[in-house]
Chain A
């Protein structure tokens, strides 16, 4: 029998059978889609953002970033919030809650005035949502009172969070934009305004590509384009950084975090959990591969927990935070020069090129035998290890302490895939 661990978790006082949720986007924008997602195994839904403003979308509205023929490394969209009427969306939420009563429904909303936020909060509460997420961060909304600029304005975040929280008994999440230097300020403002949780990140403002024949960035809408939101695997590193910032910020201690940004695999999911997220949201992975990706997330996290002896997500949420410190606090007393397994080496010479052109000229190249050899110039930067195309050929060797430094045991990564 396939292994399945208990992945259930309480988030904002609501029980989720697993932490995997659709994030507010086209992937959760009507009843049939949400029903299919929930049947596929998703733990909950953040419904596509509902507003008094009704979107009138452009065509086309997406672009992707490829890397050497590998598509969808990053994804740009120009979509706004829901293009359906409030009534239609509310009916949809009601129907989902009726047919899937144990699957939490998070209603994402966006208003353009305290009055609208209040109104929306009341309506989705009435419709049966379990949680409300305030969308302070959609880069495609163009007004100053809606969109990602709101998320950088402490006053507006506080005011809108308050208007929403005061209009409902439900817990409120504030969804943050990454288009700023420090996320802690707006996050704190949201909590001060009454929000109970922070979700991050929304999409990154971007231009993914420029059509070099049309002299226009992409997507091309009647010869013009606009800056849009970047998402997918490419933004995971940015998302993880903001999650860690939030989790390590003293003034936000105890505030629950929902992690968003480039989650495709169970490993991505575990990384977000290890940095303190207790709920996870996904869109781009679904846009590319469909709802079924949750199967391998559930299975993969289960196997990880089995390997590590964890019985609950609580056993490892935030477990990597204590090991995230300032660069000035890192141990600078030693180096880990590499060792090269010449027998397994296939002789491509990539390590030699990168070490010479970008590091310390510490690899000698035997052109006859087509084999590299590490010299004592190696500083242990591990550029070669990252460039080498063959698994396990270049690995960290013996630890060497710098002169005059005290020898002591150190922890280094030895397992590379």
Chain B
């Protein structure tokens, strides 16, 4: 008999380090010269330095290193694809296995909270106001950097809660709600104001925003779920990943129970959908058109989903969704070999095959790319509208949280140099 992980939906799945086990792990670190892990963090979180601080018994110093570089350090500790970033670069891999950098980062940010540290401080007040549209990672990082420099920042969020994908996307087993709340709490303490339930382009025009603020930052997410044009796609029980995950998180999972769920896709979002479905009690199968090796999902997420007992079927492409009385009752797919056929009983079919920007209706003058993403000047994040900047998923097409943090920071500096340049 094999062991299956029964991790509950609302509980964090990965166990934390204790001070002692954290020290044991830090003692495995080789304390490299010019640490390659540090070079591999898009947000400059500098694991080489913070792990050295743990090793030399300076956890508070470690917390400063993380927090000063990454305002979402506690989030990234949990959701970063470390196996493709810092941990992939880790020299220790040459001996046995990399240092568990993400888990150590989580230890340090947990300790930061236990110590009640307030590392980020509001800078001397500057008489300039910036509006950030959206409250996902990129906006939070941008707003925090601006507020730390003394600027007045207001974040506009269309949803009732702030956090974007952190709040409405990533599953609680990977990222508990409290962690997101704590990180946002720190940003509020920096003086950033949050206006929730306020959709720009509906409740307030971009033009109005521009006139009220010295600069505007667009940190929009990708909330348009992609659904393929298949027979049965309109049946009840068919979801796009973004809708499925946000409904699950909104209701604490209560409203989405199913008997048999089929997830289509091979990325992190597909893994999140699969663990959600499984944790909510459904017999869950992932169907992916390519192989496991080709799947873009983070290895740790794939392992977690496997540990829950989710089944994987590779090299099948969806062909038809079967329905009865307007509801999903089955799923059909064709093998990429051109011969194999698959038919599964299902009452839920969730497509995690990428997200698109919601139709950006902010302004006709805002120039978009062919892919309907916001077009920016790569050097300074400026858009086609003067004083309007953008970064994050709606610019890059959807990347990681840590990438969003990195872009939010550079955009903040671009905005600052725009504002100080303007002042001259």
Contact = CB atoms under 8 A, between A and B. Distances in A.
Interface in A365-402: 365, 367, 370, 389-390
Given A69-B24, A348-B32, A350-B33, 13 more contacts: A69-B20, A69-B21, A69-B23, A70-B27, A349-B32, A349-B33, A349-B34, A350-B30, A350-B31, A350-B32, A370-B36, A370-B91, A390-B94
Given A68-B23, A69-B23, A347-B91, A389 B30 contact: yes
Contacts, number: 46
Given A68-B55, A350-B32, A353-B33, A390 B95 contact: yes
Interface residues of B, number: 18
Interface-centre pick from B23, B26, B30 (highest chain A CB count, 10 A)? B30
Contact of A68 (B21, B27, B91, B92): B27
Contacts of B20: 69
A65 to B, nearest CB: 13
B389 to A, nearest CB: 34
Contacts of B34: 349, 367, 370
A321 interface: no
Nearest to B33: A349
Contact of B30 (A70, A348, A367): A348
Contacts of A287: none
A359 to B, nearest CB: 14
What size tier do the contact residues of chain A reach? 10 to 19
B25 to A, nearest CB: 8
A69 B32 contact: no
A346 interface: yes
20 contacts: A68-B23, A68-B24, A68-B26, A68-B27, A69-B21, A346-B30, A346-B94, A346-B95, A347-B32, A348-B32, A348-B33, A348-B91, A350-B30, A350-B33, A352-B33, A367-B34, A370-B34, A370-B36, A370-B91, A389-B30
A365 B33 contact: yes
Interface in A342-366: 346-350, 352-353, 365
B27 A389 contact: no
Interface of B: 20-21, 23-24, 26-27, 30-34, 36, 55, 91-95
Given A68-B23, A353-B33, A347 B94 contact: yes
Secondary structure class of chain B's binding surface, majority of residues: helix
Nearest to B55: A68
Contacts of B32: 347-350
Contacts of B95: 346, 389-390
Contacts of A365: 33
Contacts of B30: 346, 348, 350, 389
Nearest to A347: B91
A343 to B, nearest CB: 11
The 5 A-B pairs with the shortest beta carbon distances in the complex, nearest first, are A349-B33, A346-B94, A69-B23, A68-B27, A69-B24
Nearest to A71: B20
B26 A69 contact: yes
Contacts of A346: 30, 91-95
Contacts of A367: 34
A188 B55 CA distance: 46
Contacts of A370: 34, 36, 91
A214 B211 CA distance: 59
A266 B219 CA distance: 64
A365 B34 CA distance: 10
Contacts of B92: 346
A361 to B, nearest CB: 14
Nearest to A70: B27
Nearest to A68: B27
A212 to B, nearest CB: 11
A352 to B, nearest CB: 5
A389 B32 CA distance: 11
Contacts of A68: 23-24, 26-27, 55
B310 to A, nearest CB: 35
A350 B30 CA distance: 8
Contacts of B21: 69
A370 B90 CA distance: 12
A5 to B, nearest CB: 34
B317 to A, nearest CB: 42
Interface-centre pick from A349, A350, A352, A367 (highest chain B CB count, 10 A)? A349
A365 B93 CA distance: 20
A393 to B, nearest CB: 10
A370 B36 CA distance: 9
Nearest to B30: A348
Interface string A51-79: 00000000000000000111000000000
A347 B30 CA distance: 10
Contacts of A353: 33
Nearest to A352: B33
Interface-centre pick from A68, A70, A348, A365 (highest chain B CB count, 10 A)? A348
Interface string A104-127: 000000000000000000000000
A230 B111 CA distance: 33
Contacts of B24: 68-70
Interface-centre pick from B21, B26, B34, B36 (highest chain A CB count, 10 A)? B34
A349 B48 CA distance: 13
Interface-centre pick from A346, A370, A390 (highest chain B CB count, 10 A)? A346
Nearest to A69: B23
Contacts of A350: 30-33
A390 B30 CA distance: 10
